[in-house]
Amino acid sequence: MLDEDRAEHIKRRAALKVDRRKKEEYPPVAISIGEETLGQTTYPIPYGTYGNFSLVVAPKKSGKSYFVSLIVASYIGGNANHYAPTFKTHREGYKYILHFDTEQSPWHSSMGAIRVDKIVGNYYENYEYFKLRELDFDAKLDFIENEIHHKMYKDNLGLVIIDGIADLILEGNDQAQSNSITQRVMKWSSELNTHIILVIHNTYGVKKATGHLGSYLEKKAETICYLDREKKLTKVSFETRGFGIDDFAFTLDNYGLPIIEEVDY
């Protein structure tokens, strides 16, 4: 090994080594669902922490866009607690939220963006919604890459939503492409200290995310949400790395807004 390579390895080794004598702080929570008490300490149960990503896995027409609206609105605050009482924002300051929709038409994209305002009960200036349906997969990826790294968001990017992560690669069953985009998402979340919410379809007939891409993402996600539609209810279940999140269901109220309901499973 060359001297410069050795020096680089030593530098990287120091950065990567876990110091067992150092107490790591509880990860900074972006949004939580419920609480867990250990001893004398009560912790928020993270749906998502800064520096990580979560995954929403859902079949078509299951209400996934409504669910994502509920998460985004809850992160903003306002009247969202009337629709999702156990959701809690830990946002500090006026952080930006960037929402990228790769699938829906301009009209549906507009309705999705406005839905968040309706749940919150106000217009959150720093919520930006982009419709990318007309772009090729590589153009979608380039746009997202450039947008999230814009200097205006530096050190102030709270949430990034990519509704349709599979549209950022050519083939969801290509292992190299799937691994590459997964690693890129992990890098984005870490270097930008943001929480990224990804949405992907499930494999037909089972709840697991589709393709090799889905498998890679499920292995690396901090939280996985599985949606399942039953008549007028959408049931939501979770897999987490830490404290468990209780299952729940949501429906649409008379104004077409998602609201959590208590149901017996």
Match 């039953």 to its residue by tokens. Answer: 230
pLDDT for the residue 9: 84
Name the 3-class secondary structure at 137: helix
Please enumerate in sequence order all residues whose Cβ is within 8 A of that of 109, keeping only pairs 6 or more positions apart, or say none.
Answer: 101, 129, 131, 133
pLDDT score at 47: 96
Question: Residue 60: which pLDDT band, with cuts at 50, 70 and 90?
Answer: confident
Asked if 180 contacts 216 with a C-beta cutoff of 8 angstroms, the reply is no
Residue-wise pLDDT tens digits, 170-216: 998 899 999 999 999 999 999 999 999 999 999 877 888 989 999 99
Per-residue pLDDT at 263: 64
Domain boundaries, the chain: 24-261
Kind of pairing between the strands at 96-101 and 157-163: parallel
Read off the pLDDT band of 264 (50, 70, 90). low
Average model confidence (pLDDT) for the chain?
A: 92
* DSSP codes, 167-208: GGSS-TT-HHHHHHHHHHHHHHHHHHT-EEEEEEEBPTTSSS
What is the per-residue pLDDT across 143-170, written as a single tens digit (0 to 9) for each? 999 999 999 999 999 999 999 999 999 9
For residue 2, what pLDDT is reported? Answer: 64
Task: Quote the CATH superfamily of domain 24-261.
Answer: P-loop containing nucleotide triphosphate hydrolases (3.40.50.300)
Contacts of 188 by beta carbon, 8 Å cutoff, 6+ apart: 148, 160, 194, 196
Give percent of the chain above pLDDT 70: 98
Q: Which run of H or of E encompasses 31?
A: strand 29-38
Q: Is the pLDDT of residue 265 over 60?
A: no
pLDDT band for position 10 (cuts 50, 70, 90): confident
